[in-house]
Amino acid sequence: MALIAPSILSADFANLQRDVEMINRSEADLIHVDVMDGRFVPNISLGLPVCAAIARHATKPLDVHLMMIEPEKYIREFRKAGADRITIHIEACANLHSGIMLIKETGALAGVAVNPHTPVELLVDILPDLDTVLLMSVNPGFGGQQFIGRTYSKVKRLAEMRESAGLDFTIGIDGGVSLSNAPALVAAGADVLIAGSFIFNAPSPEQAISELKKTTG
């Protein structure tokens, strides 16, 4: 079964504690926290104080996705704000390896995210250092966008690279994930499914999490 990570970006920010408690009760495995700087992506979401507030109520690990330029500057701070996993973008880092080493130094799990236009083959020399790779299946910046179908072949190629190198990093998919694509993504090699609008726009978000979990197993 894949891990399910509801994206708090689609929660009700005026009722964050309620929504975090719903995730606590649910079959979700992680809480995905999207940080946007208005520079790397054309949107601004939330930052350190909100991340710390979520961490105060969360009983599941915080999976922090930094969609920002020069994320290295804030890695220690996000760890202090409760991040258990920290993912930075290959497109945003001049010195990706240093950033990954810094994440590990803080004790968090380290991930690299890749935008839809970035070939997974560019990761070949960093894969042995990673706990997770996050494949963006939409252009980052907003929830509720349409899933990009070419992601299936990227998952397969990345899973083949993992297999042939004998590595064990997890593969996450972020953007437009729903019941309609989850089984095929898992069949292609995905281990972590991030979902925002599918979960929070459902009549019962808790049940939507449960259905998503079941469809992967």
| Binding residue for Zn ion, selected from 72, 174, 191, 211, defined by CB under 5 A | 174
| Residue 19 known to be catalytic | no
CA distance 166 to 144: 35
Q: How far is the CB of 185 from ligand DX5 (least distance, A)?
A: 12
DSSP string, 183-197: HHHHHHT--EEEESH
Binding flag, residue 3, ligand DX5 (CB under 6 A): no
Q: Which residue has the tokens 């979401």?
A: 45
| Binding residue for Zn ion, selected from 5, 6, 36, 65, defined by CB under 5 A | 65
Q: Which residue has the tokens 């649910």?
A: 26
Beta carbons within 10 angstroms of residue 203's beta carbon: 6
CA distance 74 to 68: 10
Binding flag, residue 205, ligand DX5 (CB under 6 A): no
Q: Which stretch binds ligand DX5 (CB under 6 A): 4-12, 17-25, 123-131, 165-173?
A: 4-12
Residue with smallest beta-carbon separation from ligand DX5: 196
What 8-state DSSP symbol labels residue 2?
A: -
Q: How far is the CB of 163 from Zn ion (least distance, A)?
A: 25
The 83-89 sheet, strands edge to edge = 3-6, 192-195, 170-174, 132-136, 109-114, 83-89, 62-67, 31-36
| Binding residue for ligand DX5, selected from 10, 26, 151, 170, defined by CB under 6 A | 10
Catalytic: which of 19, 34, 131, 191? 34
In the complex, the residues that contact Zn ion under the rule CB under 5 A are: 34, 65, 174
Q: Which residues are catalytic?
A: 34, 174
In the complex, the residues that contact ligand DX5 under the rule CB under 6 A are: 7, 9-10, 32, 34, 65, 138, 140-145, 174-177, 194-198
